Structure 1
Amino acid sequence: MGIQDIIEGKRQWRAHLARVKALPPDYQIVYKELQKYLFKVGPVDLPDGPLLTGIVDFFEEGVAAGKGVLELIGDDVAAFADELIKDTPTYADLYQESVKRAR
């Protein structure tokens, strides 16, 4: 990874955050909670994958349709996040596998 890759990554992340800041306040709150939860759970492809961008796309469509954020995802933010990553390997999964192999 060269310096140009790092700069481009930062540029993309800032553009992503600008899209989040353009959302209504209730959407921003839910997005930040989703992001915090996903960073804790740790899907392996979260940094490079399309998940966070897809959430922002989904939220922007909800705003355009005039829907509230809880109309889109339901009342349980964690359950929504779990559903998004149900088939995605997480760092917790990798750790459990390594513990099983170490026995």
Structure 2
Amino acid sequence: MATGSNEPKSRYLRYLELITGSLEDKRRYWQYKARIKQLPENYRTAVEALERYLMHFGPADGAGAMTMYEDLAELFEQSAADGTPIRDLFGEDPVEFVETFMANYPLGQYRTRERNRFTSAVARAAGEDTGRQDRTD
């Protein structure tokens, strides 16, 4: 089913990807899962918890999310190799860690922008001068 880089995709593969999403993203996801499976148990437990959080609150698109997950795998592989304790990775506030991690990716920046827009709108509604003109479109 794989096609060469210069070979056009068959009608079947184009239709399949239309229905199921990018086959390349799916391949990347399963490679990521295989990498995570190789981590020591405590690192794997931490990554799986982080992954669960990201599934609910992180980027939803395939390519952007996969880049983030691959970077996550690399971070934990390197940390495991260096013997970095889990708490040293996450710090005292794991949510702050994951929110900062997500902000490094385009859809994470979208969330930050929307949080700022929301906060500013509430301040305006409360009659507070925010000094900003946020667009609501």
Q: TM-score range by the shorter chain?
A: 0.7 to 0.9
Question: In the alignment, is the contact (CA less than 8 A) between 1:16 and 1:53 conserved in 2?
Answer: yes
| Relative contact order, higher structure (CA 8 A, sep 6+) | 1
Is 2:92 the counterpart of 1:72? no
Note the aligned Cα RMSD (angstroms).
Answer: 3.1
Structure 1's unaligned 5+ residue stretches are none
Deviation at 1:59, TM superposition (A): 0.7
Q: Does 1:48 pair with 2:63?
A: yes
- 1:22-55: CA deviation from partner (whole Å, max 9, x where unpaired): 011111111111111122113355x312211111
Unmatched 5+ stretches in structure 2:
1-12, 122-135
| Distance apart, 1:70 and its partner CA | 1.9
1:25 aligns with 2:41: yes
Count of equivalent residues: 98
2:109 aligned residue = 88
Cα gap change, 1:42/1:63 in structure 2, threshold over 3 Å: closer, same or farther? closer
User: CA offsets, 1:56-98, max 9 Å, x none?
Assistant: 10111111112222222223221110111236213xx39x87x
Normalising by structure 2, report the TM-score: 0.57
Q: Could you tell me the percent identity over the aligned residues?
A: 25
Contact 2:58 2:102 in 1 (8 A): no
Contact 1:74 1:80 in 2 (8 A): yes
Take 1:78 and 1:28, find their aligned partners in 2: how far apart are those partners? 17
